[in-house]
Amino acid sequence: MSLKIGGSASKTKTTSNTTTNSTRTPVVPEWASNLTQGVAGRVGGLLNIDPQSAVAPVHGLQNQAGVGAQNLSGQTWNYEGGIDLTRGVANTQWLDRYMRAPSANVQSESLLSNLDAYMSPYTKDVVDTALADYDFGAGQTRAQQDLELAGSGAFGGSGSALTRSMTEDAILRGRATTSANLRDQAFQRGTALSNQDADRRQQANALNAQLQLQDWNQRVGQYMAGQDQRLRAGAQLAGLAGDFEANQRANIATQAQVGDALRNVDQQQRQAPFTTTQQIVAALNGLPIGLFTGEQTDSTQKTQGKSTTIGVDVSAGRPA
């Protein structure tokens, strides 16, 4: 007896890979290539420049301005002189003696002051002489009256006595009146002189008081004028010092400005290689080189394949 089993089955799988390499080469005109290479060389040349050399140093005028600003001191002596003058004007102690001085006044004068000095030293002599002359006239009156009484026959009677009494009374009263009038005239003349002198003294006192006030006013006015001159001198000194310092600052500022301008010129000169190169690069970028540029393409292709078969083959048997 024999047994045989047989069978057959198969499957094939194929895989392929294709690789393509393409190289594009721009075709640039010679003039463009030379121009670009020249610009590139110029840019490369900038790499050899020391960066510090491209920075302009401080200009000499800037250094001079810096030294001047550092040493700026001004005219302190003028300021101090102006301050001293101003302080001197502010000190008003000199006015204290005028403020504490008594006010000028006028003393009243009286005609009774030292009145005897104005009386005539000859009053007694004048009165005595006048009375002596009066007595002489009185004696003549008495004698005349006696003659008249004797002629009338009434010399020894009561009528004669009455007449003589009345005459003596009149003579005595006349004598007293004469003496009083003479003394009163002497007193009136003395008081008049004393009054005139008192009036002159009072006028002199008033004038002296006025002159004293004028003198004080003149002295104070002159001193105030001097103070005003000192104050103006102090202000002028301060102004001169301020003008001098302003001129110094203006000179320093001018030096700094001119130095800064000259340093900017130097800086621009040092930056010229960079700025001109940037301008050239910008100009090169602005050129339509692309319009004159072509392209060349080289391609290579490579394919790789692989086949795989999958199957079953079974056979079995037994000899008979």
Q: Which ranges constitute the DSSP H helices of 94-157?
A: 96-100, 123-152
> 304-320 in b/e burial notation, b at 16+ Cβ within 10 A?
eeeeeeeeeeeeeeeee
- pLDDT digits (tens), the chain, 320 positions: 444 444 455 555 666 666 766 677 777 778 877 888 888 888 888 888 888 887 888 888 888 888 877 777 767 777 788 888 888 887 777 777 777 777 767 777 777 777 788 788 888 888 889 888 888 888 888 888 777 767 666 555 566 677 777 888 888 888 889 889 988 888 888 888 888 888 888 888 888 888 888 888 888 888 888 888 888 888 888 888 888 888 888 888 898 888 889 888 888 888 888 888 888 888 878 878 777 776 667 667 666 666 555 554 444 444 44
Provide the pLDDT for residue 314: 44
Provide the pLDDT for residue 4: 46
Q: Do 135 and 192 lie in a common domain? A: yes
- Count of domains in the chain? 2
Q: Do 184 and 316 lie in a common domain? A: no
Q: Do 133 and 242 lie in a common domain? A: yes
Q: Do 93 and 234 lie in a common domain? A: yes
Q: Do 236 and 93 lie in a common domain? A: yes
Q: Do 19 and 34 lie in a common domain? A: no
Provide the pLDDT for residue 154: 54
Q: Do 21 and 42 lie in a common domain? A: no
- Residue tagged 């003349």 (tokens): 189
Q: Do 181 and 89 lie in a common domain? A: yes
Q: Do 200 and 143 lie in a common domain? A: yes
Structural domain for 318, as ranges: 1-26+299-320
Residue 305's DSSP bridge partners are 16
Distance CA 76, CA 57 (A): 35
Is residue 263 within 8 Å of residue 60, measured between CB atoms?
no
